[in-house]
Amino acid sequence: MAVEESSEPTLPGHAAEPAPGDDAEEDYSQPILPGEGESDYERYLRTDALLALQKTPDEQVHRDELLFQTVHQSSELWLKLAATEVETAARHVREHEIAPALRLLGRASLCLQLITGQLDMLEQMSPWEYQTIRKVLGHGSGFDSPGFRNVRRVSPDLGEAFHALRREAGLSIVDLYVRGREFEELYQLAEALTEWDERVTVWRFRHYKVVSRIIGDEVVGTQGTPVELLGSLIKKNLYPELWRARNEITARSNEE
């Protein structure tokens, strides 16, 4: 028997209406993505693998290991995102695409703001009880953070891209600030780099204060580095020339 074709046209990208009697209802309670997990939420986010990264209660020497690992593991994720955004922003700057670069640098700075805030959680640990955790950290140190290494890797390239654009405009850093309203986008880019630099510095300073509060500031860290050395490293900016320009701007203003 011949099948009668529908006389109604079907728009591109739209499925035809099911014929009466067809079983067209989708069971939204069942996952459709590949992978492990009982739901597509779990499969897409790979929560089985993610939540298995922390020590189990039987493996912990102290229950606060979960707090310690949660703060540091989540920080690595935010640092990964921040470094990725800075790296992409640098490519935009090299291609004279300032607007998308500003958007991504705003994200990167927010990532640093978030991980700075969550350091408050570490101060919920007892200095004495933390010593139990410290004994199982081996030679682990914040200096070994993959996320921070990537931040240090991508930041210089961003600075070089900015300065190439600035020099192309025939401006010194001070001139860019003095004539900022004439070169609004370039000025905003300079400020975005300064913000990124500041967020990294504030995070490092906050980390130093947390370490000092928990284990002291006159002791040696897990990698044999004196804690006081952390404090001295805070003064090292990613873009010191942008900070020196403030002094020059003030000096120029005082001369007028």
Task: Tell me the domain boundaries of the chain.
Answer: 60-255
Three-state secondary-structure class, residue 33: coil
Dig out the tokens for 38 from the structure: 């009982």
Q: How many CB atoms lie within 10 A of CB 127?
A: 11
Quote the CA–CA distance of 155 and 78 in Å, as a whole number: 16
DSSP letter at 15? P
Dig out the tokens for 40 from the structure: 């597509």
Quote the CA–CA distance of 156 and 122 in Å, as a whole number: 30
Confidence (pLDDT) at 229: 67
Residue 186 and residue 170 in contact, taking contact as beta carbons nearer than 8 Å: no
Residue count (the chain): 256
H helices of the chain, in order, are: 40-45, 47-50, 65-94, 98-117, 127-134, 146-168, 173-178, 184-215, 227-233, 240-255
Quote the CA–CA distance of 159 and 7 in Å, as a whole number: 63
Looking up tokens 């401006």 gives 171
Q: Look at the alpha carbons of 152, 155, 160, 163 in this order and tell me if their dihedral is positive or negative.
A: negative
Confidence (pLDDT) at 7: 47
Confidence (pLDDT) at 3: 45
164: Cβ–Cβ under 8 A, 6 or more apart, which residues?
Answer: 94
Three-state secondary-structure class, residue 18: coil
Confidence (pLDDT) at 2: 47
pLDDT mean values, one per 10 residues, the chain (256 residues): 47 51 76 96 97 98 98 98 98 98 98 98 97 93 92 98 98 98 98 98 94 88 65 84 97 93
Fold of 60-255: Methane Monooxygenase Hydroxylase; Chain G, domain 1 (1.20.58)
pTM for the model stands at 0.86
Confidence (pLDDT) at 140: 85
